[in-house]
Chains A and B, each alone.
Chain A
Amino acid sequence: MINIEKPAVDVLEDEDTYIVVADIPGVEKSNIEILADENSITIKAYRYQKFKGRYFIVERFNGWITRKIRFPEPINQNQAKAHYENGVLTVYLPKAKNQFIIDTCFKIFIP
């Protein structure tokens, strides 16, 4: 819990999809990981310090950035899609409807 930042997120839904939009700027795409189970996802990222030198001001956060988001209805993690651009991570999560996918720790791939 120490040294962890929660990114700001928007979550919206339509008939059959949840969309999660999270600000995670200044991170290599390879340093972002999305884990999903039947009704939640966890976003984790790690930000490294970009420069060495004498700092005047330090405000930006370096270290673990994580956020777990729960949904009211189950999701179909197999069909999930993610996409990272300009420091904004967007995750599309189709609602599971009648299918029920038992707890798995599923990694969503970010293309």
Chain B
Amino acid sequence: MEERNLDLPSTYPLIPTRDVVVFPYMVMPLFIGRQFSIKAVEEAIDNNNRYIFLALQKDKNIEEPTIDDIHQIGVVATIIRMMKLEDERVKILVQGVTRGRIKSLTKQNGYYQVEVDIIEDEEVEETIEVEALKHSTKDLIDKAISLGKQIIPDLVEIIKSIEEPGRLADVVASVLDLKPEEGQAILDILDPVERLRYVHDKLLKEVGILEIQHKIRVSAREAIEKDQREYFLRQQIKAIQEELGEKDDKKEEIESYKKKIEEAGMPPEVREEAEKQLRRLERMHPDSAEAGVIRAYLDWLVELPWNKRTKDRLDLKIAKKILDEDHYDLEKIKERILEYLAVLKLKKQKTKDPSIKGPILCFVGPPGVGKTSLGKSIAKALNRKFVRISLGGVRDEAEIRGHRRTYVGALPGKIIQAIKQAGTKNPVIMLDEVDKIGLDFRGDPTAALLEVLDPEQNKEFVDHYVGVPFDLSEVMFICTANRMDTIPRPLLDRMEVIRLSGYSEEEKLNIAKKYLIPKQLKENGLDEKTVEFTDKAIQFIIRGYTREAGVRNLERQIGSIIRKIAKEIVEKGKKKKYKVTEKLVKKFLGAPIYTPEKESKDEIGVVTGLAWTEVGGEILKIEATKMPGKGNLILTGSLGDVMKESAKIAYSYVKSKAEELGINPEEFSKYDVHVHVPAGAIPKDGPSAGIAITTAIASLLSQRPVRSDVAMTGEITLTGKVLPVGGLKEKILAAKRAGIKNVILPKGNKEEVMSDLPAYVRKSINLIFVEHIDEVFKIALKEKQVEPQKSES
């Protein structure tokens, strides 16, 4: 009984393998399908002590191989287990025993029988190289395992314990990832050291591949692990917060936004956008900067009144009552507003269309005449919300239309802000001071306003910040301005201009009594029972302490008196009734700031002109004088180009009509004429002083004095015609304030003046309408006198 397999037989049943090489010592399952191989297995178990010979076929597609189709070197193997499968195939578990070389092949009883020379590995001399090779191979196996190669631990132990290089090579070869040809190549190497060297190289290559694979795997895993770690920590924080009874803020916030979006009544496209942003917010860390931006945006979206409106009150009677309560007179304007409401009412009844597709109202007039408060009254009459946007000094388009959300601190434009402030989608929005919109490199705000004010376009107004269209068509826009000439044309084109001129003294008196005094009393904690103003006192305030078209200063002065009374009452503790008289006004306000114009003399070369300014009308004393010279015309007083031309026309006209006016033509070459319009520091322009300058020059050269109780306005042409001018109501009121009795006006303005001017003003002042300058001369110039005398006035 001997342990070694020296008693191996010399013939074996052959199993030609097609895609696998079995090495000595290697255990491997094989599936046998071919009949001759099955027969060989049966023969081996029955008669050959379970020994079999395995050899690789050179071409796996050959079904019936001959000796030339099989590699010569193969392996003697023992069948450990065998099982016949249901599909006629046989599964065997074999273990390689030793190499063998096929000497001859015969086919018998349906299987191949081979005669084999057993090849035992030669004894090898243990050189340093062999030793090193063995160590290196074993180390490489360790490395391969550490890099994830799967080798049964028992086998690793065996490999570690193997000392013979040939055997080490064979066992290691069995764990390598080899193609059949490569395996056969190892089998073919009979020199053990050579074989180990070859296997070592193969192993090295495999370890290299494993290293790269490992690197890829590790980097992928690191990325995943980092994410997982973060997620895990987040979950922990959440769990801790829940444990501490702190609510999940984020979830709550998202829920509240969801609810708000639900309630906001947005149009579908806006709602879609809002929900999209909400989903983004949900995915975001609540403390990130971007989340803050989205939150702010969502706040805007949900707070805009997408579907909220006040119900219009289109009752003309109530509207008229409200307008009358708030504003004195202004009949024409009130009429216009009521027309507007009437149209709106009819339209609504007919078409059910709530949008206002009418012209935008624009109130133009001096400060303090009640433009803004008129807007408020309209809103009140209509039962709409009122919002005021001041456009004075707005230079940036973005102030109207908003900034893009990408910018830090971005906000919607003034329009959307106003809508939010109003809380309804149909407020009255007052665009104050449209004439004072600036313009610079940041874009033109008026261009943005065009879109806002155009009823055809503003149904889908897109603010840069909001990014979704908002319907402005139900908004009633009202603009105010002090002057029209600085309003851009296209903007003016969309508006219906309603002029509010200044108030006359009588009007102011009434306004003071009806509105200003009760208002100031109320504001200062007094009532009409304690303080009473006499009409004379009010008139005294108007004349002596104010000079304006509106009533702002008047209100301030009244307020000032009332405050002083209030102080006195508190200080002295007595509750007597105050009657404000002229004397009391003087006591409280000091000496009058403006004294009534003194009765002025009729002078040569001094004419009273009339000017229109932003703050109402004013009178201008135009002066002319002559001095030795060469007939030059000198103009001073900050005159604009148009006014300078106007003066030249005047001079030329007088020159051309010298004889008719009784002027010596030589005067023109002997003297220079100087025209000055005080006050010198205030810029003046326009053609309306034409006839006044002409009269001044004519008076100067003809030495005929000008009546100081006559004021005049009108443009002059070279042929002496008088052309119509603007701002007449203010000018006439200014003349009246200055105590002038006669006003010369162009005939072309007659109709306008007659309809605009209140009857009592027309009655108290003598209006003279002229077509030609000659008529002016007739009225304004007195006969030449040897010595200037005091006029009879």
Contact = CB atoms under 8 A, between A and B. Distances in A.
Given A3-B5, A33-B1, A46-B1, A58 B81 contact: yes
Given A64-B3, A66-B3, A55 B82 contact: yes
Nearest to B98: A2
Contacts of B50: 49, 58, 62-63
A67 to B, nearest CB: 13
A108 to B, nearest CB: 16
B95 interface: yes
Interface string A1-29: 11110000000000000000000000000
Interface in B70-112: 78-84, 92, 95, 97-98
A35 B332 CA distance: 137
A56 B78 contact: no
A106 interface: no
Nearest to A48: B49
Contact of B84 (A33, A56, A59): A56
Contacts of B84: 56-57
A2 B95 contact: yes
B45 interface: yes
A48 to B, nearest CB: 9
Contact of A58 (B1, B47, B82, B97): B82
Contact of B78 (A3, A49, A55): A3
Contacts of B46: 52-55
A59 B81 contact: yes
Nearest to A31: B1
A2 B118 CA distance: 15
Nearest to A64: B3
Contacts of B777: none
A32 to B, nearest CB: 10
Contact of A57 (B3, B25, B82, B97): B82
A3 B97 contact: yes
B526 to A, nearest CB: 119
A38 B81 CA distance: 37
A61 interface: yes
Contacts of A4: 3
B45 A2 contact: no
B771 interface: no
A58 B45 contact: yes
Interface in A40-99: 44, 46, 49, 52-59, 61-64, 66
A44 B1 contact: yes
B194 interface: no
Please report whether the interface of chain A is mostly helix, strand, loop or mixed according to DSSP.
Answer: loop
On chain B, which size bracket covers the interface?
A: 20 to 34
Contacts of B25: 2
Contacts of B81: 57-59
A66 B2 CA distance: 12
B388 to A, nearest CB: 101
A61 B50 CA distance: 10
Interface string B27-50: 000000000000000100111011
A64 B2 CA distance: 9
B97 A2 contact: yes
Nearest to A54: B42
Contacts of B5: 2-3
Contacts of B79: 58
Contacts of B45: 49, 55, 58
A40 to B, nearest CB: 16
A55 B46 CA distance: 8
Nearest to A4: B3
Nearest to B42: A54
Interface in B706-764: none
Contacts of A56: 83-84
Contacts of B1: 33, 44, 46, 64
Residue from the set B25, B82, B92, B95 with the largest chain A CB neighbour count within 10 Å:
B82
Given A44-B1, A66-B3, A55 B97 contact: no
B78 A2 contact: yes
Interface in B481-512: none
Nearest to A57: B83
Contacts of B42: 54-55
A64 B79 CA distance: 14
A64 B5 CA distance: 10
Contacts of A49: 45, 49-50
A46 B7 CA distance: 14
A73 B50 CA distance: 40
Residue of A4, A58, A61, A63 most packed against chain B (CB within 10 A): A58
A4 B97 CA distance: 11
Nearest to B79: A58
Contact of B80 (A33, A55, A61): A61
Contacts of A46: 1
Which of B78, B80, B97, B98 has the most chain A CB atoms closer than 10 A to its own CB? B80
A53 to B, nearest CB: 7
Interface in B332-368: none
A58 B83 contact: yes
Nearest to A5: B80
Contacts of B82: 55, 57-59
Contacts of A53: 46
A66 B3 CA distance: 9
Nearest to A58: B82
A52 B50 CA distance: 12
A49 B50 CA distance: 10
B538 to A, nearest CB: 129
Contacts of A54: 42, 46
A58 B92 CA distance: 8
A107 B192 CA distance: 38
A33 B1 CA distance: 10
23 contacts: A1-B3, A2-B5, A2-B25, A2-B78, A2-B95, A3-B78, A4-B3, A46-B1, A49-B49, A52-B46, A54-B42, A54-B46, A57-B81, A57-B82, A58-B45, A58-B81, A58-B82, A58-B83, A58-B92, A62-B50, A63-B49, A63-B78, A64-B1
Interface of B: 1, 3, 5, 25, 42, 45-47, 49-50, 78-84, 92, 95, 97-98
**4 pairs of A and B residues whose beta carbons are closest in the complex:** A58-B82, A56-B84, A2-B97, A57-B83
Given A57-B81, A57-B83, A62-B50, 12 more contacts: A1-B3, A3-B78, A3-B95, A49-B45, A49-B49, A52-B47, A55-B45, A55-B46, A56-B83, A57-B82, A58-B79, A64-B1
